[in-house]
Structure 1
Amino acid sequence: MLDNLDFLRRFAAVAEHGTIHRAAEVVGISQPALTRSIKLLEEQVGAALFERRSRGVHLTPLGERVLAQARHLIRESQLAETEILSYREGEQGTFRISAAPVWMTAILPQVVAQLHRQFPSLAIQLEAANYSEALPKLANAECDAFFGGFQRIEALQSFLVRRPLFHSHLQILVRKGHPIFFHDGITPDHLLEYQWVSFQSDGAYLDAARQAVQARTGKSITAAVQCDSMLTALELLRQGDYLALLPSSFLFSTYGDGLTAVHSGLDTIVFESGPIFRRSLLSNSAFTRLLELAENRAKVLGLLS
């Protein structure tokens, strides 16, 4: 049914741009030809894919589902073309990677630099994202791989592979020499005496800290500082008497210089971390090399148990 890639590309262009006029310009065909392609695709699926409105078109519920499949098929076609070209011209093409902060700062920069020495024609697109943000992008073929913590384990589409590499621990991080260490035996109550930093790209961190502290003390914590940059959050911890619940993996890299973990009697939150990627990439020599380099980098940092 969805076997005409030209039709699927045209359909995806209309969905993205919202008008036949703009999509026709982008695709490079006439508006009547584009309209006919959409009509034929609708005949194949047996229902309308768009609702026609005065200012353009809007996907129907079925259209939303067809778009997800269309993006998947288009991306698989692109990867297949790249694979074929690689035999003649060497590995090339583009990897679109989403990654959580630990991976984005402490692991992937070194990995990508090493990868490019072996595959200089590759293009890499890196985007910061947490698990909840990346999973829909993987499902909709908007990225090829996610590297980060698996904040929950759930069934994945058959075309995706989850590969845990190490366990990530969420712990309370502070600067070395923080006044909290002046206490003779740190308890959850001592955590209420200091200001907290919240890394807002993943509010779940502060929520987890709030729930844990409230369960032990009956009192709640709030964030004195909220920021969207992990590097800023780490620097705030170095510069002030703040506390933050963050992955202790940072302590294994230079990004954690001057920081340490506080052991207050709260349970450490543990989850698996690693890549989730398109299954078809297992046949791509550049991507399998990327996976090897990522594992080696995690080993060098002491993250592998």
Structure 2
Amino acid sequence: MLDQITHLFRLQAIFEEGSLRSAANRLNITQPALSRSLAQLERYFGHPLLERHARGVRPTPFGERVLSEALRMQRQWQLAEQSLRHDPALGQTRLRIGAGPVWRASVVPGFLLALEKDFPDIEFELRNTRFSQAIGDLKEGRLDVIFTGSPMLEAEEQRLVSRPFAQVTDHVVARDGHPIFDHAGPDGQIPTERLLDYPWVVYSEIPAYHETARNGLYQLLRQEPRITIQCESLLSTLTVLQRSDHLSILPDATMAAFLGAELRPVRTGLRERGVRANMIYREEMQNWPPLAALIALATGEASAPE
């Protein structure tokens, strides 16, 4: 088995370098030895793993699958090696967490502060992620867990575990003091048509917000909102909201995450959208103590951090 792992790590170098010669130089082995490793893997799997082109080599579709599994195994091997050897030369063990801006600001830091006390030898690395890329990074070991409000597709579920950690409701929001609040009735409800009186800013990182604003209003009023700004950055979206009369749709967790944002929900007849937020991790990682503790905190199976 160890021989196969060695061959797989060599295959990874070939794919990353794009040529056998460069990979052999990087690995400090001869090119014939590297070619033998490749041949052994192709015999073992019964499929070609790379194809040649004018500038070198590239993985076949099956080779891409093998590479993905090799990266996944490499992360497991790295954690096992650090656990067994406790060698400072191997570097500090890291738990790599991916999260969008809302979860990075509101939920995850509290978990990390709690975990830091129980795992002083672990370095917790919190990264900004986009869901479309994060799933690939998770599968291939570049991330160990992600926090997201986006659902997994069925095709992405192989050996990944999704656990809910929060229920989020999306609201129309405006700055405190926005003129739209002058139209509120005794019950605090604002006529839905007033949403058409003001420009909109859309947080475009999550496409559902654009769809809810455009389609939701059209279904109710047969007219689309006037979207004048689209921001990929949540912070930029909040800045526009605070400095103008723009409206937007954002999750309620945003107001908890950015305490200085001074945003208020706008209560209208537009249906609010509920979303289940999930943490997603690789199945084989779930018993690794730092991750197991994080899962327990996030899913309410342990005492929540203060």
- With the length of structure 2 as denominator, give the TM-score of the two structures: 0.85
Using the alignment, how far apart are the partners of 1:210 and 1:131 within structure 2? Answer: 23
Q: 1:267 aligns with which of 241, 264, 271?
A: 271
Unaligned 5+ segments in structure 1 are: none
Whether the 8 Å CA contact 1:250–1:256 is kept in 2: the answer is no
Q: For 1:72-126, what per-residue CA distance to the aligned partner results, in whole angstroms no more than 9, with x for missing partners?
A: 22222223334434699xx951222211221111122333244334433323332
Question: Helix, strand or coil for the counterpart of 2:126?
Answer: strand
Cα shift at 1:55: 0.4
Question: Helix, strand or coil for the counterpart of 2:278?
Answer: strand
Give the aligned partner of residue 176 of structure 1. Answer: 176
Q: For 1:29-67, what per-residue CA distance to the aligned partner results, in whole angstroms no more than 9, with x for missing partners?
A: 233322221121112111211111120111111112222
CA spacing shift, 1:177–1:75, aligned 2, 3 Å: same
Whether the 8 Å CA contact 2:173–2:248 is kept in 1: the answer is yes
Q: For 1:146-187, what per-residue CA distance to the aligned partner results, in whole angstroms no more than 9, with x for missing partners?
A: 112143564654532211122111111211111111124523
Using the alignment, how far apart are the partners of 1:299 and 1:265 within structure 2? Answer: 35
Give the aligned partner of residue 58 of structure 1. Answer: 58
Give the aligned partner of residue 201 of structure 2. Answer: 197
Q: For 1:184-208, what per-residue CA distance to the aligned partner results, in whole angstroms no more than 9, with x for missing partners?
A: 4523322122121222322332122
Alignment of 1:1-305 (within 5 A): 4-85=4-85, 92-151=92-151, 154=154, 157-184=157-184, 185-255=189-259, 257-294=261-298
Using the alignment, how far apart are the partners of 2:212 and 2:58 within structure 1? Answer: 39
Using the alignment, how far apart are the partners of 1:272 and 1:153 within structure 2? Answer: 14
Question: Helix, strand or coil for the counterpart of 2:143?
Answer: coil
Using the alignment, how far apart are the partners of 2:20 and 2:232 within structure 1? Answer: 37
Percent of residue pairs bearing the same amino acid type: 33
Give RMSD over aligned pairs: 3.0
AA partner of residue 281 (structure 1): M
Whether the 8 Å CA contact 1:95–1:144 is kept in 2: the answer is yes
Cα shift at 1:272: 0.9
CA spacing shift, 1:58–1:156, aligned 2, 3 Å: closer
Q: Name the stretch that deviates more: 117-126 or 142-151.
A: 117-126
Using the alignment, how far apart are the partners of 1:187 and 1:16 within structure 2? Answer: 58
Using the alignment, how far apart are the partners of 1:104 and 1:298 within structure 2? Answer: 20
Whether the 8 Å CA contact 2:174–2:248 is kept in 1: the answer is yes
Aligned residues: 300
Whether the 8 Å CA contact 2:14–2:23 is kept in 1: the answer is yes
Unaligned 5+ segments in structure 2 are: none
AA partner of residue 284 (structure 2): S
Using the alignment, how far apart are the partners of 1:188 and 1:162 within structure 2? Answer: 36
Using the alignment, how far apart are the partners of 2:18 and 2:216 within structure 1? Answer: 46
Question: Helix, strand or coil for the counterpart of 1:109?
Answer: helix
Whether the 8 Å CA contact 1:173–1:248 is kept in 2: the answer is no
AA partner of residue 181 (structure 1): F
